Amino acid sequence: GAGVSQTPSNKVTEKGKYVELRCDPISGHTALYWYRQSLGQGPEFLIYFQGTGAADDSGLPNDRFFAVRPEGSVSTLKIQRTERGDSAVYLCASSSIVFAGANVLTFGAGSRLTVL
């Protein structure tokens, strides 16, 4: 697509529930990133994929968080047993390596997760 698409844009859930957030990156972008942003903070790295594999998942806070990208395009961030502290905007970004040899990210609009 023309841009990075994230769904849903807003998700309200109850503590303990399971949530899936979806990201559809720019066509042809091999790298896909997930960040989490709390109010008043900068984006916090969670995980990034090169193709289908997770190249770096060091930012996932605990084993309740998991992300997949089975065909190297769309990715899903999965959160089990949600907690109130998981409330944040979850940002997805994709990149192509061709710009100046560095990974310039194109971000989606984000999915705002609220855990009651």
Binding mask 34-73 toward another protein (x if CB under 8 A, else -) reads -x-x-x-xxxxx--x-x----xx--x--------------
Give one DSSP letter per residue of 49-83, joined into a string.
Answer: EETTEEEE-TT--STTEEEE-TTSS-EEEEE-S--
**The only residue of 7, 13, 76, 106 in contact with another protein, by rule CB under 8 A:** 106
For residue 19, CA distances in Å to 42, 57, 62 come to 23, 19, 15
8 Å CB contact between 95 and 105:
yes
Min. distance of Cβ 16 from another protein in angstroms? 26
Residues in touch with another protein (CB under 8 A) = 4, 31, 33, 35, 37, 39, 41-45, 48, 50, 55-56, 59, 89, 91, 93, 97, 99-110
